[in-house]
Amino acid sequence: MSATVTPRAAVPARRTPTELSSAQATWLVAEREIGSKLRSKSFVISSVILVLIALGSVLWGGFTAGQDSSIKIAAPADAGALLADTPGLEVVETTDRAAAEALVRDGEVEAAVVVDAESPVGLTIIADSDTPSGLEQALAVKADVVLLDPDALNPLLRYFVALGFGVVFFMAALTFGATIAASVVEEKQTRVVEILISAIPTRVLLAGKVIGNTILAMGQILLLAAAVVLALVVTGQTELLQGLGAPVVWFAVFFLFGFILTAAMFAATGAMVSRQEDIGSTTGPVTYLVMAPYILVILFNDNPLVMTIMSYVPFSAPVGMPVRLFFGEAQWWEPLLSLAILLASCLLVIGIGARIYENSLLRMGARVKLSDALRS
């Protein structure tokens, strides 16, 4: 008599963990970087302080300009007699219209007001490149305006536009670059990096760090830009907003690749040391490269030759080219050529930076020499 054998239930095969693709692993590292920064009180507080400083600076500048007590103008005797008791005006009497125009050209007065029989209101304002803010309100009439040099650029406007682009790039690249370097060293000190690279390739880890911090930097810049635009609108400083559209778009594109360039270098140089105290010894040269555009903008913002050179050098192109575009000093093909140079430089530097990062990450103790980090 044969025994009946009951078939055993099939045991499901044990599943092996699904291997992440390079893109998925990169995004996981980027999410980790973003999450850790957003959970950091110091990062959130510093971002809020930065926005408040930018907002306060623009508001203070606008309100201070609006409260200027007097506008210095030149006027011949006939016009001077009419304006002698006008509040908000400091009148410098001249012999005739030609003398008043000469004072305007020399910059000794902000504008000139002359009697003009052909004007509907009997007065004409003579200015250099633009009418001083508040002059027509002080005159209480809509006078005719004659500009002696309508195509001339306001040097103060040029300075602030150049300074604005320079400060934004300098602060973002330096702040986030130093954060990346410190993060790399911290992972080396705590041995976390050994666990990370056992699961994902070293270059994927580098790419995730750079991408995560780039997203944070772009978000902070957009928040800062929104605050500045709001403050300019509130204070009536619309002159700075005129023509900003295309230059700001170009600045965002140049900033993106310029930041990736510097972020990769900060991560690579950070991997060459094993202690937080030693970071400055390797990241110093990168810091100087980030500072260079900021210093050059302040010193040579009105020098066409220097600004042209800056618009093609990879580390200063994110500042130099948008400034030249804002003032209409660049041909249509120039930003395209500059961007191509920046992209080529970005690929080259990222390749070198990845090699340094990969060869230095697991070396503990003394600082890794650059020659050793570049060896395979």
**Is 18 within a domain?**
no
* Angle separating helix axes 192-199 and 155-189, nearest 10 degrees: 90
Residues 291-334 have pLDDT tens digits of: 887 888 878 888 889 999 999 999 899 999 999 998 888 899 99
Residue 158 CB coordination number (10 Å): 16
The token pair that represents 165 in the structure block: 């682009």
Give the helix ranges, DSSP H, for 190-315: 192-199, 202-234, 245-270, 279-300, 304-310
Tell me, yes or no, whether 168 and 137 share the same domain: no
Tell me, yes or no, whether 161 and 88 share the same domain: no
**Is 275 within a domain?**
yes
Extract the runs of DSSP E, i.e. beta strands, from 87-206. Answer: 89-94, 111-115, 123-127, 144-147
What was the pLDDT predicted at 216? 92
User: 367 near 272, Cβ under 8 Å?
Assistant: yes
What was the pLDDT predicted at 5? 46
Tell me, yes or no, whether 137 and 273 share the same domain: no
User: Strand 123-127 and strand 111-115: pairing?
Assistant: antiparallel
Tell me, yes or no, whether 158 and 139 share the same domain: no
Structural domain of 130: 71-147
The token pair that represents 361 in the structure block: 């990450």
Tell me, yes or no, whether 49 and 100 share the same domain: no
Residues 175-201 have pLDDT tens digits of: 888 889 988 998 888 888 888 888 888
* Band of pLDDT at residue 10, cut at 50, 70 and 90: very low
Tell me, yes or no, whether 218 and 76 share the same domain: no
Tell me, yes or no, whether 102 and 164 share the same domain: no
What was the pLDDT predicted at 150? 63
Distance, CA of 34 to chain centre = 20
The residue written with tokens 């400034």 in the block is 323
Residues 213-227 have pLDDT tens digits of: 999 999 988 888 888
pLDDT at 1 over 50: no
CATH of the domain at 122: 3.40.190
C-alpha to C-alpha distance for 79 and 72, rounded to whole angstroms = 14
The angle subtended at Cα 355 by Cα 279 and Cα 257, nearest 5°, is 80
pTM of the model: 0.76
Give the number of domains in the chain. Answer: 2
Q: What is the mean pLDDT of residues 217-242?
A: 78
Residues 251-286 have pLDDT tens digits of: 989 999 999 999 999 999 999 998 888 898 899 989
C-alpha to C-alpha distance for 335 and 317, rounded to whole angstroms = 9
